[in-house]
Structure formats: structure tokens, C-alpha cells
Structure 1
């Protein structure tokens, strides 16, 4: 008021709530220790020094005034609050100084204009350059391991270098690239580098069951010099010494819950959580088990680290860098509640500053120039025991029947029996519930479980096409869409032209509609669905031309996005054998095989025995 020359009456009579007239002057002295910054800070209101604990208490309840020794209250101006409030929120106080974890170096960086110590300035600049990727030229000094059997895209190389820098300062990081951008290959490149640098490397990878074999395939394909063991299933070892002979142990979240004591006995260099949002609930058994793991450092991988609310990020960050966001209760009160309940923009920015250095995210749109127009990925799934038992029963039944028919009538006259047997096994790979048999089976489907998980956890704002050859499988997927309240459109060969066009327009133009379910044969021709950029083929088949037609529904003139196409294959089934046989017989040549009957003519008796083995 005095600055604006406004005369104030009655100020002297405010005995119970008297505001000090002076603005605060703030002196800061920062020293750097091994794991923290010590910040000596003095807030002076014209001779009245504010108590640090009182300031912390006031800021915790969002008060902008603090009691002073003479009975008055010092007013904390807006510009002071914007500069210092995060420091007081994240620091531990002993009454004289504030101690800030080096995890929270961005808090200290806010005070850079008040820092006199040149070494501290250099330390902060280095961390910013390497963690916030503001100086990517520095990354070029570190070559990619020669053992890597792939050429990394530029953004993947930056991701690898980011992981290397985090390792050098022994901080954990969350690689949060969009689905399909290669989080696994970036991690494997780093693990190969770590082994080369240190002469040895022991890592534990925890992932959803459906990703076990994708890790196996990626290791074999890109870093074959790294030895690995899949630790999963009823026959897994109970002896920790048997895990010592491998560079990478691949296991699941379910196994982690039961075998955490076994894993703790191993001297691990790294623990990697794939789809780390699985531990978002800090009170869950799997989250508690993950926190118990002992290792030199940690990495988390997730395309969607925050799915429903701000609190999702706490457990993942606490796994990576224990204590960096305070206690669970502190985080809930100081960050989650203000952001989720009150949409507090300042708190949102404070949280972003704290986690941003430890989270690297690139979207498809950001790295589009580095991507091919179309990326095709095979996802391997492992059946549960109920689905496997039904599969094995039918396989044994048809193997005996078909080999006997071939023996008696020759392969040409056995085509119908072969096709029938293959179709039954493929249907079971989707779900035994879609078999058209007198005996009805329950819906045991690893593909359905995985598909729903992908849609709920990884898709985000993207649009998706889901193709299946079997109407029964599409019906099961529809049920799941309704159950999980996922907006979708649908069409198969029974739809009229008007119904089809209505479904297409709804999918293309309604942002809320994220999924389109389509019969593979009905959807292979004449559709233009450029709103989608992810394609899932639930049941791949011999003829790649049919699948390519489906994928090309999105990959057409007018498409400005990069397309990712996923094929689901059940491990150790006819689906995997067909894929291997296609490669062996070079059946991928376009248009060689126009239909199923031509496909059968390409097979020998040994091929048929292999498919039903």
C-alpha cells in the first residue's frame, strides 16, 4: 500500500494479527555433499529472522505468512513463493539449514542466480545437460557396443546414452517411450555396454508373462553374446546358485511375488521392470516385493507410467530412487491430492521438475522422421495350463488321425483333414470357447488377456484396428470391450454397405472411439482407416498378402502417422510352427500362395508331422 501511496488507517490497532511492514530479504549459502546439498538460508524481515520450521509448516498448509519473534507475521510475496516453496517442500530441516537430496537437484537449480560456488554451478549444469538432454552432442563420444546386431535409430542411441549417464551417477531412470519405439533394444544395448565396461553383468528383468518370450527373442536377435535364463513356471529352480551363471534372468511379476527371497540372494547389478506401471499401487504385494530387491541400480520401462492419476508415478519413482519423492503419505498430500483433486497448476509444475530428469519419453510424433513408415512386430504369448491342456488333447487327436489318413490315402486326398485340424488348433490358440463342438469350453485365452492389457495400459490416445479371422473371437473381444468400457466400432462380412460406412465414419471422426474390430477377410479390401496407427492381428495365417491388406487399411494415402502392426503368436503351438515353416519354405514371396488349398499342396508329410508335433 505504501508503494502505491495508499494511506492505511488502523494498522497500529491490529494487535492479534499484525502484518510486518517489510518485505523479506533472503540470503542463501549452498554446499555440496556426497548425496545431498546443504542449504543455509536466512529470511529476514527488517531484523526479524523467520524460523525455517515455521516456514515449512506454513507452506505445507499453503499459508503465505509466517510468525516472527516479535509477535508479528511476515508476509511471503508471490515471487518469493514461486522461487523457494519447492525447496522448503522437499527439504529436511534441522532448524538452521535445509538438506536436499541430490535426486532433487532441479530444486537447487532454481536458485542458480544465488549460487556463488563455481563447482556447484558446474555440477548442476552437467546434470541438466546429460539428464534433460539439452546437450546431445556430448553423447556422441560413447560408441554403441560392436556386439549389438542392429543399427540404432538416433533417438534410440540417445536413450542408450541417457541410461549410461544415469549409471555413472548411480541413479535409476524410467524409459517411457511410446509403445513400439524400442525400449527393449535400448535397454539391451546398455546391458551389453555395462558388461563390456565392467567385465561382467548380472541383471534381473521382471515383465508380464506375455512378454517373457519377446525378451528372449530380442536377446537372441540383438545381443546374442548375453546369456539368459527364463525363470518361470512350475519347473523353475529354487537354488540361487543356479541363477548365477547367466547375464540376464527373465521372470514375471507373479514369480517375483513368490521368489523375491531367492532373487535377493543374488548379487545383481541391475533390476529392470518392464511395464513398470504394474507396481503403481505401493501397497500391493508385487510393489512391496520389487522394493525389496537389492541391486546396484534400477531401470523401469513403461509407455504409460501414469494411467489414471498422479499417484501412479510414486511407486515407480520410489523403486528407482528410494525416497526421492518423500514418503507415500507426503506425496499423496503434497502432490497427488492438489493435482488430481484441485488441478493445482503450480504443484503440477513442481512435480514435473522433480521427476523430469529421471524420465525419458519420446512419442511417435516426436521421432517420426527416424521411423520407417510401417513397423511389424511379433508378440509371443504363453498359454495358461487350462488352455494348454485343451490344445494338447486336440493336437494328439488330430496328429494320429491325419498321419494315418496321409499314410492310407496320400497327402492330396488328406487336405480337408489337415485344414480342419489346423483350424481347430488355431481356434484354441485364440480361445477354446470359440470351438464349434458339442462339448463347450470356458474362455481361457492368453491373447485376450494380453490384448485387453495392451488397450488399457499402452495405447493412450492412439487408435487401434483389431483383426481376427474368427467371428467367435471377435465376439469375445466385443464382450471385453463392453466389460472394460472401451468405446469401439465393429464390422464383419454380414454388414450392409450403409452399416459399414456408419461404423467407419464413427471410428474416423469420434476421438472417444479408440478401437475398431474387423473380420480379417471382410476388412481386407476397400477400407480407408487412416485415423488408426496401431494394428493387432490376433490370429496370423499362412498368406501374408491377407495380413498386409489388413495393415494397409491404415497405411494409405492420407496417413501421416507411422504404423505399428502386432501379430499375436502362441508359443510352442501350430502358430509358431507355421511362422517357422513359412520362413523355411520361403512362402513370404508375394502372391505365391493365393488360398489355403494351394498352401497345403506345398507341404510334405514331414511338414505335416512337424505342424502337429
Structure 2
């Protein structure tokens, strides 16, 4: 005989489960072990074996993987509310459990059913309606201690929504420190966005040789921002600090569950967790598993269970039933809005700056050339400078080239390029259906980007002043789904082209004349463009 009763606890569901074979009973631990081992046999109290029905094993498998045996009960975190509803009958759930399950299902099935929150008073920005909905969703998860994945398209303001959540937490919690983990190329951008939208928050950048090593000092900051690389280096002391939230930006960086990065972020301690990404799934369902297992540990079972039940059937055999089941399970904890879905709330064209801090070697070379130019100019009167304007222009151009890539001034200077690194991270983070224009004044810079695209197997087209068959190249980019990136020199591609297949424009180097940049952006933003266009300028900060 089998008896089940599910009751409500503080942040969990308690399940009282009894399986009797006559006068003998199977303990919870023995039942859990049998189900996890896919065994039909369970050891009873007297040492004999009982047989478990196949249908019962299949029904209870995901439950036993999610639950923990505590005394005489199976304890299941509330994040498994949907599994509770799927596994157990109405008669097996007490009234409080049924009410909780219905509440979570109703609220998380429809954003509009979540009670809207007022934006934090100290937020120095006006949220668009969909951003306010996103903030309300984040606050709902926060109130119930659920982790989540904010997976809006790039350009919809994920960073702003997260900053607004931080400020709401600040109003609610007097003192706590959040950790934001980002690719190195985004450290400066997060710092700039926090300063712009939430100047009341005290921020520390945990990066570089002189960074703090005493975790107790973090308590004086509201936000600590670090890179994935620094996190890996410092995990042995970061793991012992209790953060408010851990936010993973570009969380696809931990999609490999066998990687050191993944294992490092799993060691972090926090009240809650949020993953931020425009591409939650890049290759297969294991990408999703890695991120969900960070924000909602146990929701999808352990790695082997997920592989057996979801990954292999879906990725290898295209099992639509399992795919629908997985989607239903994770949908409440993933918020994704596309640009098309919120197009009416967006301006037709948006522009932003992506800051790309130079590495030490690249910066040293820049400073050396800068000193040479400054030394040349010192002591010269204006007339002398005007007479030698070509020399001055060459010096300024070299500084711009070093910001792009040191190899533009010296092919032997393999010092790394902050802009190319940032650009490739941006391209990698886009869904394959997005098309991208990349402009540079320097054809040699486009050649370096081309090399990186080829290494990554990303389809591209290129148009410079030397291109003969312009119309064919343009048509190929516009019509071929596999050609995701169009590399264009600013002069050759800046005028006379309609490139409406693209909705992202990257300007690798600023041009002297802003009107020329505007023309380049308008290659994508033309009559016939049905998408919102986002233009991103890559700038090396001083």
C-alpha cells in the first residue's frame, strides 16, 4: 500500500510518503535510492526486497531527484511547485499547498497577472512599460526567493532592469552586497551604467593586480563587479562571503557544466541568483541546464537525470513530448522578450557606447605613442603645428589604430585587442537570426576581424573600396541566412547601400565627422526596415 500527503512548509513542501508491503515498510532513503538507481526493487526494514511498479517509478523519479530526505519527510523547495502539481493528485495535496501552487502557476504564466511595482525612487531613468513588467517579474521571484533567467534580446535594457531590482532591494534590505560577474570587456560598462542610473549605490570593481583580497571589506559596498577570470582566481575566498544576489551577465559563459567557471559560480553563496543573457541556448539543452542549475538548483535534477530524461531525447531524437515538458518546467523562471514583441515601445533606432578597456600591454603601447606626440607638440606655436598638420594627423591616427589593434601600427605587435575581444563576445551572444554590420575606417582592422570570424566558423561578407562586385556581395548578405556579419569600410559602405537585413551596427572606430557615422548607421535603418536598429560604438576609455 502507498500513502502520500503533501503539506506546506515555510519555503518548501513537506511530503509524507509511506510504502508498505504487508507489515514491512520501505524507508524513504531506500525508496529514493531505488528510484535514482532505476531499480524496481527496494530494500525493506527486515532486509527483504519489495517490487516497485514501473509506472510509480516513472511518476516519482523527478520528485525524488528534487527532494531531500529530512527525518520522516521528503522536503522539496517551493521552486518545484509545478512538479508537485504534475506528480500528485488533488487528494494528496493539502489546501495550503493547492493554494500556493495555483498562485505561482497563475502569476508566472502571465506577466500581466503579477502585481506591478513602483520603480525605485532613486532610479535615474524612466522605465518603458515592458521594462516595468520585467522589474515586477524580478521582484515577484525575489519575494518568493526564486532564481531566474532574464533573457531579453540585446538592447532591451536588461542591465537597467537589474539595476532597478538592486535599488528595490536597497529600499527593502538596509545592508547587503551584490556580486555581478561579467566578461572582462563589460566591467567598465557595468560601472558606467550603475553610475548613470544608480549613483546612490557604492560600487567596487574587483579586478586587476591591486584588487582587494579581504572579503570582509566588501560589506562597505552595495555592488561588487568582477570578471569570470578573476572569479576563478579568487573563488577560494569569494565562496565564503554571503552576497545578497549573484548576477551572472552573459551567463552563457558558464554553459559548459564541466568547466571550471561553472563549478566556481556554483560555489558562491547568496540569498538569490539571477542569470542575464540574450541567448540562453546556443548549441543544445545542456546550455540551458547549466544556467538553470545555477539559479534554481535541483529544478532539473542532476546532470545524469537531465541527460537521460531531456537532453538525449530532445537533442538527439527530437522528442517533442520531452521538449514540451522541459519548456513547461523552466518557463516560469525565464523571461524573454524579443525586439519584435515590444517593437511598439522602442524607438526605431537606438545608440549606445560599449567601453573596451585596454589590457596592460595595449595601454602601455598607447601611452608610449601618446608621449611621443605630446613631446613633439610641446613648445610649438600654433603656426608651426598647422604647418606640420600631416605629422600631427599621423600621430592621432596611430593612437586610434592602437585602440583598434596594436597590429595596425606594427604587424609584430601581438598585444591583444580589447575591441576585437569585445566585438567577438557581442557576436557570439547574438541569436543566429540577427544580422550584424561592422564598420571600420581601417581595412586592415576588418581583415583582423575577418580572421577571428573564420576561426569561429561565423559566416561573413566583406565590402571595401577594392570590392568589384558590390551588388552581388550585398545581395548575398541580405539573402543568405548563414552570412551573419557584414564587414564594411566606412568610406565604401557608408553611402548608397540598403542593408535592411541587419539590425545591429558596430562602429569599431570613431570618425572625425559624426555625419559619416550617421550615414553608416542608416545603412541598416532605411525604408523597408521592419526591425529596430541598434548602433553600438566601441570606445577605449582613458
TM-score, normalising length: structure 1: 0.79
The unaligned stretches of length 5 or more in structure 2 are 21-25, 43-47
Q: Who is 1:479 aligned against?
A: 451
Distance in 1, Cα, partners of 2:505 & 2:168: 33
Q: Who is 2:102 aligned against?
A: 125
Match of 1:417 among 388, 391, 404: 391
Pairing of 1:64-75 with structure 2 (within 5 A): none
Q: Who is 1:505 aligned against?
A: 475
Distance 1:411 1:366, change over 3 A: same
Distance in 2, Cα, partners of 1:245 & 1:351: 41
Q: Who is 1:468 aligned against?
A: 440
Q: Who is 2:331 aligned against?
A: 356
Distance in 2, Cα, partners of 1:254 & 1:374: 34
Distance in 2, Cα, partners of 1:474 & 1:195: 45
CA shift, 1:240, in A, is 2.7
CA shift, 1:466, in A, is 0.7
Q: Who is 1:546 aligned against?
A: 516
Pairing of 1:24-103 with structure 2 (within 5 A): 29-39=5-15, 100-103=76-79
CA shift, 1:37, in A, is 3.1
Match of 2:495 among 513, 522, 525: 525
Q: Who is 2:112 aligned against?
A: 136
Contact 1:92 1:100 in 2 (8 A): yes
The CA RMSD over aligned residues, in Å, is: 3.3
Distance in 2, Cα, partners of 1:541 & 1:206: 32
Q: Does 1:446 align with 2:418?
A: yes
Q: Who is 2:406 aligned against?
A: 432
CA shift, 1:81, in A, is 11
Contact 2:243 2:269 in 1 (8 A): yes
Contact 1:109 1:124 in 2 (8 A): yes
Q: Does 1:227 align with 2:208?
A: no
Distance in 2, Cα, partners of 1:73 & 1:269: 43
Distance in 2, Cα, partners of 1:556 & 1:35: 53
Contact 1:83 1:110 in 2 (8 A): no
Match of 2:428 among 456, 461, 465: 456
Contact 1:179 1:459 in 2 (8 A): no
Contact 2:437 2:485 in 1 (8 A): yes
Distance in 2, Cα, partners of 1:345 & 1:60: 26
Pairing of 1:376-395 with structure 2 (within 5 A): 376-395=351-370
Distance 1:130 1:248, change over 3 A: same
CA shift, 1:384, in A, is 1.5
Aligned length, in residue pairs = 531
SS at match of 1:206: strand
Distance in 1, Cα, partners of 2:242 & 2:51: 58
SS at match of 1:557: coil
CA shift, 1:83, in A, is 8.0
Q: Who is 1:106 aligned against?
A: 82
Q: Who is 2:45 aligned against?
A: none
Q: Does 1:401 align with 2:376?
A: yes
Distance in 2, Cα, partners of 1:88 & 1:350: 17
Contact 2:262 2:290 in 1 (8 A): yes
Contact 2:114 2:137 in 1 (8 A): no
Q: Who is 2:255 aligned against?
A: 280
Please identify the structure whose Cα radius of gyration is greater. Answer: 1
Q: Does 1:315 align with 2:308?
A: no
CA shift, 1:534, in A, is 0.8
Distance 1:40 1:353, change over 3 A: farther
Pairing of 1:179-328 with structure 2 (within 5 A): 179-328=154-303
Distance in 1, Cα, partners of 2:502 & 2:39: 45
CA shift, 1:135, in A, is 5.2
Distance in 2, Cα, partners of 1:454 & 1:342: 31
| Offset from partner CA, 1:452-487 (integer Å, 9 cap, x none) | 122123343201111111000001111111111111
SS at match of 1:189: helix
Deviates more, 1:477-486 or 1:323-332: 323-332
Distance in 2, Cα, partners of 1:425 & 1:364: 37
CA shift, 1:344, in A, is 2.0
Q: Does 1:178 align with 2:153?
A: yes
Distance in 2, Cα, partners of 1:236 & 1:97: 46
